[in-house]
Amino acid sequence: MDSAAAADLTDVLCEFDAVLADFASPFHARHFHYEEHLERMKRRSSASVSDSSGFSDSESK
């Protein structure tokens, strides 16, 4: 593994550790708002994802 890949992996693992530590915190003490972020990402992805029929996933459900 080259040094750039190792640095990227280290960054990702550090971020993962921070997320795990945040989830271990009481809800009111968390630094991040994962639920809001997840809902925003779901809305964004459902708006941009479509199948070959031309209908988005949200329209086909």
Interatomic CA distance for residues 15 and 13, integer angstroms: 5
Q: Is 56 helix (H, G, I), strand (E, B) or coil?
A: strand
Classified as helix, coil or strand, 50 is strand
Query: pLDDT value at position 22?
Result: 81
Is the model's pTM score more than 0.85? no
CA dist 61 and 57 (Å) reads 7
User: For every one of its 61 residues, what pLDDT tens digit does the chain have, with 9 covering 90 and above?
Assistant: 899 999 999 999 998 898 888 878 887 777 777 777 788 888 888 877 654 455 555 544 4
Tell me the one-letter amino acid at 23. Answer: F
Strands annotated E in 4-57:
none
